[in-house]
């Protein structure tokens, strides 16, 4: 009789574990981006002792969020954190939601500004390069190689003009593209709805 009761308890525990796992899996499928965390601290850096409202986000969390958001189209979607129900703390959750929104909005603005700065620098380089090439052309047309000084200035300015022009075009066309993935990621995350789901 004791053995039978023990077996029943074991079966009950196994059923409970299987049920919990199935419930977790169902929750993962329902949400667009879902991350399982053991505690609220998993979202934040282990080396930052500040409160949740100021604490730096974990690199692991950001990396996982980037991976999960790659195949999501831009627009409104949900970021769901699955956390054990016995750790539920509404106050902490509200603070964390606000902190995440602030982080993503600030970084989106920062990376976007970096892209704009690269674009401005590239355009400026290209314009200066064109101006230098124009001046070189005037000198070449007017003085040709009649004097040593004119020849020296032409030799000096011609490659400088080409370099600045093509470096500027490289900045405008290629360097700005390197910022696109981060801009898209932070834009998506700044617009997403953050939820905590307890299991």
| The predicted structure's pLDDT at residue 69 | 84
DSSP state of 42: G
Residue 58 belongs to domain spanning: 35-198
Tell me the three state secondary structure of residue 112. Answer: helix
Tally of domains within the chain: 2
Kindly state whether residues 25 and 100 are assigned to the same domain: no
The greatest distance separating any two alpha carbons of the chain, rounded to the nearest whole angstrom, comes to: 115
Q: What is the pLDDT of residues 63-73, one digit of tens each?
A: 999 988 887 76
Cα–Cα distance, 33 to 26 (Å, whole number)? 13
Mark the ranges of the chain whose per-residue pLDDT is less than 70.
1-20, 22-31, 73-76, 144-145
Kindly state whether residues 138 and 187 are assigned to the same domain: yes
| The predicted structure's pLDDT at residue 14 | 52
Nearest-10 Cα torsion for 121, 171, 68, 43: -40
| The predicted structure's pLDDT at residue 175 | 96
């Amino acid at each position: 009789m004791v053995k039978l009761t023990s077996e029943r308890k074991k079966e009950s525990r196994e059923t409970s574990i299987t049920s919990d796992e199935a419930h977790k899996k169902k929750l993962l499928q329902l949400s667009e981006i879902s991350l399982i965390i053991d505690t609220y601290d998993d979202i934040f850096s282990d080396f930052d002792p500040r409160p949740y409202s100021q604490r730096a986000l974990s690199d692991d969390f950001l990396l996982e969020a980037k991976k999960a958001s790659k195949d999501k189209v831009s627009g409104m979607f949900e970021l769901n954190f699955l956390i054990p129900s016995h750790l539920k703390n509404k106050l902490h959750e509200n603070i964390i939601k606000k902190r995440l929104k602030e982080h993503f909005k600030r970084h989106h603005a920062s990376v976007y500004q970096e892209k704009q700065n690269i674009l401005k620098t590239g355009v400026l380089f290209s314009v200066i390069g064109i101006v230098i090439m124009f001046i070189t052309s005037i000198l070449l047309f007017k003085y040709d190689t009649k004097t040593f000084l004119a020849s020296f200035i032409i030799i000096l300015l011609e490659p400088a003009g080409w370099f600045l022009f093509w470096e500027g075009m490289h900045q405008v066309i290629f360097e700005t593209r390197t910022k696109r993935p981060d801009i898209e990621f932070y834009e998506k995350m700044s617009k997403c709805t953050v939820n905590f789901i307890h299991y």
